[in-house]
Amino acid sequence: MRCPYCKHHDSKVLDTSHDSHGGIRRRRECLKCRQRFSSYERPILATPLLIKQDGAREEFDREKLARGIRISCAKRPVSAADIERMIGQVETQLQKLGKAEVSSRIVGDLVMATLKETDQIAYIRYAIVYLGLDDLQSIRTEIDQLLED
């Protein structure tokens, strides 16, 4: 690990801890300048290609997913940590499928499920775009179904 202060290549690990997402946090000390710093390691698992409705295939884009969730949660009491948790949940569930390609509908359904648990207004905002709810009756139907649950 390269030291962020002096760019020296050698450091020693002082402490190692694991988090709930499978990541590893290491506290390090540079052998040259003696500065201490932390590094974070997490496994990189392959995410499947997404098959769009028109048949086109595209790479899973974590930032695109984050933008969609942030827009639906705008001006709602949803913390940045909650948004990151939702993004992580969707990405993890996609990786657990173990498939090379999945329909983009699966991603949308996973987002809908996490938003439904987190904030119902954000869920409705996302549903309007994702489900193509283009009139008040269809939005009302979705709200009524949400209230029944």
Q: What's the whole-number mean pLDDT along residues 105-122?
A: 94
In a 13 Å sphere around the CA of 89, the CA atoms on its Cβ side amount to: 17
* Whether the Cβ atoms of residue 23 and residue 16 lie closer than 8 Å to each other: no
Q: What is the mean pLDDT of residues 94-108?
A: 91
* Average pLDDT rounded to a whole number, residues 52-72: 93
State residue 43's pLDDT score. Answer: 72
Mean pLDDT of the chain: 92
- By the 10 Å C-beta count (0-12 exposed, 13-18 middle, 19+ buried), 106 is classed as middle
Burial of 92: CB neighbours in 10 Å, binned 0-12, 13-18, 19+ = middle
Tell me, what's the pLDDT at 21?
65
| C-alpha atoms less than 13 angstroms from C-alpha of 11 in its C-beta half-sphere | 24
Taking residues 58-74, report their average pLDDT: 94
Mean of pLDDT values over 52-81: 94
Residue located via tokens 């549903």: 127
- Domain segments of the chain as ranges: 11-41, 49-148
2 with 10: CB under 8 angstroms? no
The pLDDT value recorded for residue 119 is: 94
Residues 14-50 pLDDT 10s: 999 987 667 899 999 999 999 999 998 877 677 889 9
